[in-house]
Amino acid sequence: MEMYIEESLKRSYSYQEYRDLVTKLLKEGKSTGAEQSDDLLHYSELNEVRMNRLEKTIPVPNVIGEGLKNIEKKYIWLVLSEGWCGDAAQIVPVLHKMELEAPNIEMKLVFRDENEELMQQFLTNGGKAIPKLIVLDAETKEVKADWGPRPQGAKQLILDYKAQHGVIDETAKTDLQKWYLKDKGLSTQKELLDLMQGL
């Protein structure tokens, strides 16, 4: 595990570097990741618009900002993501806003398909669900916690839909995006602040 983390950190990007790379690939007609398809490109284009909007509109409430400022130890948030992932597009800008409020948290992003060994250590119900946030002690690089791929309310929405309909289809994806829109990143912020305060 330590080796996978070290290797992934060497391949990691800051938030701005991640955004710039995804944008550059889109201009070349590509999505991130090993697989290329019209669908993935379409999702990536939608996500670019979403992330641009969220960067401008997502608030960090004062109570959460204060909590983040009071985190005393230094941590790295190592986040597995891809440009085509709808959940990542909704969550990664929120993580970035939190990072800006927290002097002792640095976020580093890595692409899932380029970090298969690391991804295998953090599967969700056996699947490579992203985004996945791994909380590392900044000095020792020890894993202190992990979170993702969705906040609890979004997770429950998908579980309930799958139980009722047996599949995750376009309707489920639309419902999920509406949930994120209404939530405005607050569930993610609250869950992660609780997680960090519990370390």
- Which of 56, 52, 25 minimizes the C-alpha distance to 40? 25
Torsion from C-alpha of 25, 114, 20, 101, nearest 10 degrees:
150
DSSP 41: H
Q: What is the number of other CB atoms lying within 10 angstroms of the CB of residue 6?
A: 10
H/E element, 136? strand 132-137
- Where in the sequence is the domain holding 91, given as residue range(s)? 2-197
The pLDDT tens digits along the chain (199 residues) read 899 999 999 999 999 999 999 999 999 999 999 899 999 999 999 999 999 999 999 999 999 999 999 999 999 999 999 999 999 999 999 999 999 999 999 999 999 999 999 999 999 999 999 999 999 999 999 999 999 999 999 999 999 999 999 999 999 999 999 999 999 999 999 999 999 999 9
Give the CATH number for residue 102.
3.40.30.10
Question: For the chain, what is the domain count?
Answer: 1
Query: How many residues are given for the chain?
Result: 199
